[in-house]
Amino acid sequence: MTPLAITREDLKPTLEAHRGNDELRDAFLRAIDKPEALLNVVCRYIQFNGAFGPGLANLSGEIAARQGLFRDREEPIDVIADRAAEVASDFFHAAVDEYDDRATPWRDTHRTLAQACLKGLAAFHGFEAPRLNEILVVNKSTHDAMARVFQGYGIGEKLSDRRLFAGMGFHAGSEVLADQEFTIIDKVLRERLPEMVKALTDMRVRVGQAPEQHKAYYWISIHTSVEADHFDSAVQGVNKALRYYTGQNDAHTVKDWIIRGFADFARVQADFMAGLSSSS
């Protein structure tokens, strides 16, 4: 019998109803001619993205630790039948990129690359540190969204089976929507501020005390493609989790948990985007 699986058709209703990326486009378009507003939108978007690396690392560890929950029923040797690490690897694949971008010769975290982007954007517009400390505001909407991301990934919790599978769906949602988000941001900036994009593409920025200099536009450009690969890995991971699950719940219930987690992320993202331009 063909095992139950998550497909794009399962996720289609949530994606078709989703309007968060429209809110993101509007926020950038409203800010595009106002440097202070643009810096704040980018700053908040960067802060929001900073929640996903720790969330995903946490989820990967939670999955890998469940050797009794993910097992290969066709493996005759009990002691090597656990497949938790195999399931976790498809999620950890994206976490590796968060903490070490493999396309650069040194260890670039995506957080570092995002900070370089913000510093480069500020330099292009002539803002120095004292002024940035006055104008950059991480608003309540951003703090609330980050807290909900941590919750969606189960940070600090003892996860039930339901919460574990919902976390997998939550992560899959983050990857498919992030792929769209960065494509929107890149398109708006290239169409409306081509000179700035060219300057940031050529600019090198130092972050902290490290000697390396980072490409200021690199964080945006790499995310227009890498997230699609991460989504494929996430779907592969949830389907392995369904195949190897040996808990007390039936497969249809577990699949529903995943889809609900996916929809939960879509709500978190939409709420964050709606408040991206808010002053409070």
Query: Model confidence over 156-208: pLDDT tens digits?
Result: 999 999 999 999 999 998 888 888 899 999 999 999 999 999 999 999 999 98
Copy the structure tokens of residue 167. Answer: 């976390």
**What secondary structure, in 3-state letters, does 133-192 show?**
HHHCCCCHHHHHHHHHHHHHHCCCCCCCHHHHHHHHHHHHHHHHHHHHHHHHHHHHHHHH
Q: What is the pLDDT of residues 49-88, one digit of tens each?
A: 999 999 999 999 999 999 999 999 999 999 999 999 999 9
CB proximity list for 156: less than 8 A, separation 6 or greater: 150
Q: Which residue ranges make up each domain of the chain?
A: 8-274
- State the CATH class of domain 8-274: mainly alpha
Q: What is the pLDDT of residues 205-231, one digit of tens each?
A: 999 887 889 999 999 998 876 555 677
* Mean pLDDT estimate for the chain: 92
